[in-house]
A and B are shown apart, each in its own frame.
Chain A
Amino acid sequence: MKVSVGRNLRIWHVKITGRNIYAGSVFTLRIKYPPSYPRDPPSVYFVGPVIPSHEHVYSNGDICLSLLGAGWSPTLTGQGIAVSVQSILKSARRKGRPVDNSGCVGRKPGESQKDWIYHDDNC
């Protein structure tokens, strides 16, 4: 993983190198810390050009990850989130999109996940 930060220290871009079924791909995760961090989670989503095809990653870049919503804790860090995302990619057995992807593609990525319902215990 490689983190780059520009002038705005609140926005990180994390390059994640694909492993296993994503070998050969490199993905970029955008992490934006709101002023209310760490009480509220950062906004985290994948940015193009390649969004990983994963059953918990929407094609708009949003990630279905409970840590970013109901499971948020103020002790979590950007590094910890990036490692969690790396982990869900690495452990994936097959590619695909979330079942409700078509209903979410028009949504702006990175909005609050406060009211999200998570699909399974792993994510």
Chain B
Amino acid sequence: MPPTKRDRGSPIPTSTTKPSPSPPVKEPLKVKVKAFHGIARWSWGTPADDVCGICQSPFEGCAPGVKFPGDDCPVVWGACKHAYHLACISQWLSGGKNSCPICRADWNFADDS
């Protein structure tokens, strides 16, 4: 008598659920922090890699004639939303023109700058 299909395989499983694994044991990480080196980054809030339209230097860098970036070389915005180094726009405005170098609108400092 040829073997039937039933005879070839293993017995029909009665249940598909496996025994649940035991929960992982929480062991403390075996790492000891000996030192760390913190790094911070600052920007004026202008788009990354953007440059001042007057001096073509990065906003986070120095305008010509200014020694140090940061508080010594602040960035200011006009009411028209165009930004420049304070040193650069001051020099332009002192030349007798009261306009934004990019859009030529009358220059007014933005309220929050």
Contacts and interface: CB of A to CB of B under 8 A. Distances in A.
Interface of A: 38-40, 73-75, 77
A38 B95 contact: no
A75 B51 CA distance: 11
Given A38-B55, A74-B54, A75-B54, 16 more contacts: A38-B54, A39-B91, A39-B92, A39-B95, A40-B95, A73-B101, A73-B102, A73-B104, A74-B53, A74-B88, A74-B92, A74-B101, A75-B53, A75-B101, A75-B102, A77-B56
Interface residues of B, number: 11
A75 B49 CA distance: 17
Determine the main DSSP class of B at the interface with A: loop
B92 to A, nearest CB: 5
Interface in B87-112: 88, 91-92, 95, 101-102, 104
Interface string B63-85: 00000000000000000000000
